[in-house]
Amino acid sequence: MKKYQLILHIALKKELIIKALKIAFVVGIILNLINQGEHLLSLDMHNIHLTKLLFTFCVPFCVSMYTAITMKMKFKQDEIALVDANLRCENCNKRIFNTENAKIPKCDICGNKTSWIFIK
């Protein structure tokens, strides 16, 4: 699996999308109230910028998805792997193959300091 396939695989996870939509909804409302609250609260439709309103929801959604994907790509020890992956230890360069839904092991050379990096 190539890196962009992994990103796409993670990004299409239903639970990540739902969580990002919830965050976008709450944060988007708050940001819209900050940015154009006087127009929204008085329902002054002529002065509400629809483009700004929609992009204000997109920003927290994108930040949430980016953060979730970045965290899921780190392959932390003792977490369950989302995909089959070749991993390389960041410290000692040891390589392992970890299967989908298998617990990510610690590096038997580095012990508990393991940090795995996804490789093709």
Binding site for Zn ion (CB under 5 A): 89, 91-92, 94, 107, 109-110
- Min dist CB 52 to Zn ion, Å, is 48
Q: Distance (Å, rounded) from C-alpha 4 to C-alpha 7?
A: 5
Tell me whether residue 69 or residue 107 sits nearer to Zn ion (CB atom): 107
Please state the φ and ψ torsions of residue 111, each to the nearest 5 degrees: 75, -135
SS3 state at 57 = helix
Q: Distance (Å, rounded) from C-alpha 82 to C-alpha 87?
A: 13
Tell me whether residue 86 or residue 91 sits nearer to Zn ion (CB atom): 91
Tell me whether residue 35 or residue 77 sits nearer to Zn ion (CB atom): 77
- Min dist CB 112 to Zn ion, Å, is 11
- Min dist CB 72 to Zn ion, Å, is 21
Tell me whether residue 19 or residue 94 sits nearer to Zn ion (CB atom): 94
Angle of helix 14-41 relative to helix 3-11, nearest 10 degrees, comes to: 60
- Min dist CB 48 to Zn ion, Å, is 55
Task: Show the DSSP H helices in the chain as ranges.
Answer: 3-11, 14-41, 50-72
